[in-house]
Amino acid sequence: MPDTRVFVADAGSTDGTAEIARLFRAKFPIEVIPGGLPAVGRNAGARRAATPYVLFLDADVELGDPALLRRAVVTAQRRDLHCVTTNIACSNGQLADNWMYGFNNCVQRTSRWFLPFATGMFMLFDKREFDRLGGFDERALYAEDYLLSKQVARRRFAVIPGCVFTSNRRFQKMGHARIARMFFATALNSGNKKYFLRDQGYWAKEIVPGNTSEV
C-alpha cells in the first residue's frame, strides 16, 4: 500500500481538503489534481494511473475493513472481472438512512443478473476495460457511475462481501423521499441517456455547465 498512488480530485473545496490530503504524503504518494463534477475528477485521476486496476471512491467514504481492497483485487484477478463493488453502510446514519443504503445494496446484488449497477462510492475497475469504455461520461450531470457500470458485461461484474462506510450528508441535504424518487427515475430512464445529461438538481451546490454561480 505505501506504493499505491492516490489522486485527490479537488473541485475547489473550501474545507481544507487539499491541505489535509497532503499531510499524508509521508505514508502515500498523494497528488491533489483539479476536479470538477465527479466524472471530470474521476477521469483526471484515471488518466494518471498506470496500474492494472483503478479504484474510485467518494470523498466521504471510509474503508473500515483493511482487507476489503485486497479482496476486491484478488477477486477481480481470479475471476477476470472488469468491475467490482461492495455494499454501502452509513456510519452516522439513522434507521431511514440505513434502510435506504440497504435497499441500494439489494439492487446492486440483483443487478448482477440484469444490468450491472455500482455507485462511485466504491468502484474497482480493470484499467484496460475502463479505457476501452471511454471512462466516465463527462457530459453527465447525474449518475455518471451508473452510466459506466451498466456497460459492463454481467459475467465481468461482482459485488463482494463487506462494506464501505459513508455519511448521510446527501439525505440531510435533499431528504429521503427526493433521493428515492431520483433513484427510481434513474431506473426508469436507464435507456434514455439524455436524462443523465440534464441537471436533475443533484449537484445544487456545484457549478454546472451553463450556471456560473455557486449556490
Query: Strand locations in 148-212, DSSP E?
Result: 157-166
Quick check: is 61 in a domain?
yes
166 and 119 in a common domain: yes
Asked if the model's pLDDT at residue 214 lies above 90, the reply is no
Question: Is the per-residue pLDDT at 160 higher than 80?
Answer: yes
On whether the pTM is more than 0.85, the answer is yes
The fraction of the chain above a pLDDT of 90, given in percent, is 65
Residue 215 has pLDDT above 50, yes or no: no
Same domain, residue pair 176 and 152: yes
Assess whether 22 and 116 both reside in one domain. no
Whether the Cβ atoms of residue 48 and residue 33 lie closer than 8 Å to each other: yes
As for how many domains the chain has, the answer is 2
Bridge partner residues of 3 (DSSP): none
CA 211 – CA 199 distance, rounded (Å):
10
Residue 110, in any domain of the structure: yes
109 and 171 both lie in a single domain: yes
Question: Please, are residues 200 and 141 in contact by the beta-carbon 8 Å criterion?
Answer: yes
In a domain, 1, yes or no: yes
Is 90 exceeded by the pLDDT of residue 1?
no
Please compute Rg for the chain using Cα positions.
17
For β-strands 157-166 and 83-90, DSSP reports them as parallel
Question: What pLDDT, on a 0 to 100 scale, did the predictor assign at position 66?
Answer: 87
Are 114 and 142 within one domain?
Answer: yes
- Per the domain annotation, does 157 fall within a domain? yes
Amino acid 13: pLDDT? 86
Q: Are residues 30 and 55 in the same domain?
A: no
Residue 203 forms part of a structural domain: no
One domain, residues 58 and 112 = yes
Q: Structural domain of residue 148, as residue ranges?
A: 51-196
User: Does 205 map to a domain?
Assistant: no
pLDDT at 205 over 90: no
Say whether pLDDT at 208 is over 50.
Answer: no
CATH code (residue 133): 3.90.550.10
Same domain, 132 and 29: no
The residue written with cell numbers 451553463 in the block is: 210
Residue 107 DSSP class: H
Question: What is the rounded distance in angstroms from the CA atom of residue 23 to the CA atom of residue 46?
Answer: 22
Tens of pLDDT along 105-138?
999 999 999 999 999 999 999 999 999 999 999 9
181 and 96 in a single domain? The answer is yes
Domain match, 7 and 57 both: no
Residues 165, 59, single domain; the answer is yes
pLDDT of residue 59: 87
pLDDT at 26: 87
Residue 40 lies in a domain: no
In a domain, 120, yes or no: yes
Q: Are residues 5 and 93 in the same domain?
A: no
Q: Which of 85, 93, 63, 72 is nearest to 172 (CA)?
A: 93
